[in-house]
Structure 1
Amino acid sequence: MFADYTWAELGSIFAMQGFSGLILFSVLLLMALGLAIIFGQMGVINMAHGEFMILGAYITYLTSNLFSTYLPDLFGIYFFIAIIFAFIGTFLLGALVEWSLIRHLYKRPLDTLLATWGLSLILQQLYRTVFGPREVGVTLPDWMMGSFAVSEMIEVPVNGMIVMVITLFITVGVFLFLQKSRKGKQSRAVVQNRAMAGAVGIDTARVDRFTFALGCGIAGIAGATFTMIGSTGPTSGQLYIVDTFLVVVFGGAASLLGTIASAFSISQAQSIMEFFLSGSMAKVLTLLTVIVILMLRPQGLFSLKVRR
């Protein structure tokens, strides 16, 4: 597999694929952060999480068209406005879904799984009706185009760097929110001991609704960043939902550090193996490796100590 390459070529290949893995890591991490918050606190398996991501992507697409048509002078900053719109739109939809559907299915994991899977099909058909079956893409501002030449064989795309910076900012923000803010502390209290949290006056139902909406909002931001590296279609979210669940389970539910480590490991492994092997074989080998590790450590890479 490596015999046909020189050491210099292998170094360049690993560097380029490693950077591609970092871009995939950024999208997976944003997706997994939202899912880990929902699954870790509420035990809800949200099969429509990918569709919330795609909603954020479509909102970014609409914002791009809006700025290019009516506000061309501000087109250079539209993407950052689109991120805010994507978060707000998916946050509000998440709150509505929790209030109208999820709250009636707590402690019924199979029913929740089937209900959210049905919701994902409804959203896919809605996207297909509104935006059409074909994939759409956004137009990036000129300053987001191009690449940095690290060496003669290695180039780093500007949009990939922006995706990673946004991911770093959101990850740090989520960490600070969970550790320092009042709502974050309430969320952690509900995770650790729901009954005791309710006994001391925390409205656990409101915390659940906010947590589900927050997770969906982060998925919307993931969708906005996704538009920078790929086109958006009604079923694009399904391409990432399996990998996202894999990241959450492998890292350990409700563990932010575990989610980061898991997303990095899986994205780097897939990116490097896809260059030397086929994409499907890379996924198979990654999945087999994760299964073996989970057999030895069922709680995942990092586990959160929870009082029962």
Structure 2
Amino acid sequence: MQLLLESLFNGVAIGSVLLVAALGLAIVFGLMGVINLAHGELIMLGAYTTYVVQLIFKLPALQPFYNAYVLVAIPLAFIVSGVVGILLERTVIRRLYGNPLETLLATWGVSLILQQFVRSFPLAYAAGLVLALVLGFSLPIILPDKLLQGPRARLVRAGSWLVSALAGVLLAGGLASQISRIARATSRNVDVTAPKWMRGGIELSGMTFPVPRLVIIVITILAVLGITWFLNRSVWGMRIRAVTQNRSMSDCLGISTDTVDVLTFGIGSGLAGIAGVAVSLLGSVGPNVGTSYIVGCFMVVVLGGVGNLFGTVLASFAIGVLTDLIGAGRLLSIWPSMPAPLASVVDFFATTSMAQVMVFALIVVFLQFRPAGLFPQRGRMVEA
């Protein structure tokens, strides 16, 4: 019984990482129909954001607040990945809606660019660039409408971008001078050290529950609840669902479909950034850290049913539990009377990598009989 409980917890922990990584993809791919192969690199940006925030909190002025750096890294990772996602949507994706093959190839190219960018560009300068982009997109929204109308509109917009660029340069210079680790480009993996309150484990009924995995589970629960509330209760969430079901009718009713596209892609990308925070707490961070999650994310979304958040949750936990049962060899311990031929097969796949292969193979077989996933999408969009 204890082995089963341990497998369930480990499976939920694995599934939580997969779920928080797949949530953003479930929105972008499920609701918008965009195959974003750069989603893994958005996860990577969130992980690197956590690393930079950790180094900033190691500075003497912020050292007393070091244990709270994760709480700061989560919203910052959301913003960084969200802004990059918005930039990607405005410059590349918006011209490729309705062309899945072209979108796939374009986002694959973007993923390679982002990987090389991290290898070749100092993180201090990257932080300055992100700050400039955030301010550049935000200032026109914050400024009064009177300043953005009339003959001075272009001058005001140019001035806002100039101020944003100056702020980015100052941040990059300050970080480069204070933190030598991010002043130069490097392709080596880096490590994120968990704060003291996230180390160790909690003993309960003879079982040890690692605190980092518990924190990731909590982050995942909050992310799922937040995105569920947003899509079902908020005004913009209802607009997103309306555009998803009938884009032309939503446009006729006065809904800004372009704004909905930007918002949807930004939120999906931001969730990938939060996934990066979770990933950084479990292992090293490198340019390829997101690549290992992209296939699993697509599997989760497709297995659960494209556009169905509940299906995404169920699929991620199912994959997590199966991966742990097979990969850790617990299935043989739980079922000691397993037939010898089946036991030899299970024993062969009793490693993490081979367990993932077996789980993905089972998913492929399942999709042959139920190609729409566990919970097929229903409604006008499907009928159309």
TM band (smaller chain) = over 0.9
Distance, in Å, in 2 between the alignment partners of 1:278 and 1:102 is 38
- 5 Å-filtered alignment, 1:13-32, equals 13-32=3-22
Measured in 2, the distance between the counterparts of 1:215 and 1:105 equals 18
Tell me, yes or no, if structure 1 residue 295 matches structure 2 residue 380.
no
Note if 1:72 corresponds to 2:67. Answer: no
Alpha-carbon distance change, 79 to 280 in structure 1, aligned in 2, over 3 angstroms: closer
Following the alignment from structure 2 to structure 1, what is the Cα–Cα distance between the partners of residues 10 and 41? 24
| C-alpha separation in 1, matches of 2:379 and 2:18 | 26
Matches within 5 A, 1:55-66: 55-66=45-56
Question: Aligned AA for 1:167?
Answer: T
1: CA distance, partners of 2:195 / 2:299: 34
CA distance in 2 between partners of 1:280 and 1:163 (Å)? 22
Q: Quote the residue 2:25 is aligned against.
A: 35
Distance in structure 1 (CA, Å) of the matches to 2:2 and 2:298: 31
Partner of 1:113: 104
**Cα drift, residue 293 of structure 1:** 1.6
| TM superposition shift of 1:112 | 0.5
Q: Which amino acid aligns with 2:296?
A: D
Please state how far the C-alpha of 1:183 moved relative to its aligned partner.
0.7
Distance in 2 (CA, whole Å) between partners of 1:91 and 1:261 is 25
Shift of 1:14: 3.2
Q: Which residue pairs with 1:239 in the alignment?
A: 292
Amino acid at match of 1:58: Y
The answer to whether 1:190 aligns with 2:271 is no
Identity of aligned residues (%): 44
Q: 1: CA distance between counterparts of 2:219 and 2:186?
A: 29
**For 1:135 and 1:93, how far apart are their aligned partners in 2?**
22
Q: Secondary structure at 2:328's aligned position in 1?
A: helix
Q: Which has the larger radius of gyration?
A: 2
Contact 1:192–1:305 (Cα < 8 Å) also in 2: no
User: Is this contact kept in 2: 1:40–1:191, CA < 8 A?
Assistant: no
Residue 22 of structure 1, CA deviation: 1.7
Residue 18 (structure 1) shift: 2.6
Instruction: Give 5+ residue unaligned stretches, structure 1.
Output: 1-10
Task: Tell me what 1:4 maps to.
Answer: none
Match of 1:3 in 2: none
**Which deviates the most, 102-111 or 271-280?**
271-280
Q: Give how far 1:281 is off.
A: 2.5
State the AA in 1 paired with 2:371.
P
Matched, 1:49 2:122: no
Give the structure 2 partner of residue 144 of structure 1.
198
With normalisation by structure 2, the TM-score equals 0.75
Q: CA separation in 2, counterparts of 1:252 and 1:291?
A: 14
Q: How far 1:279 sits from its partner (Å)?
A: 2.4
Residues 1:90 and 2:78 are matched in the alignment = no
Q: Distance in 2 between matches of 1:37 and 1:116?
A: 16
**Quick check: 1:124 aligned with 2:115?**
yes
Q: Does 1:212 pair with 2:285?
A: no
More moved, 19-28 vs 261-270: 19-28
Structure 1 stretch displaced more, 17-26 or 186-195: 17-26
Q: Report the number of matched residues.
A: 297
The whole-number CA distance in structure 2 between the counterparts of 1:170 and 1:141 is 21
Distance 1:159 1:213 in 2: 27
The 5 A counterparts of 1:278-289 are 278-289=351-362
The residue type paired with residue 302 of structure 1 is F
Deviation string 1:106-155 (CA, Å, 9 cap, x unpaired) is 11111100010000001111112235222111122111111111244x21
For structure 2, the 5+ residue unaligned runs are: 123-184, 330-349
Aligned-residue offset at 1:98:
0.3
Tell me how far apart the structure 2 counterparts of residues 241 and 146 of structure 1 sit (CA, whole Å).
29
**Residue type at the aligned position of 2:104:** L
Distance 2:240 2:73 in 1: 27
Partner of 2:172: none
State the TM-score, normalizing by the size of structure 1: 0.93
Instruction: After TM superposition, give the deviation of residue 15 of structure 1 in Å.
Output: 2.8
CA RMSD of aligned residues (A): 1.2
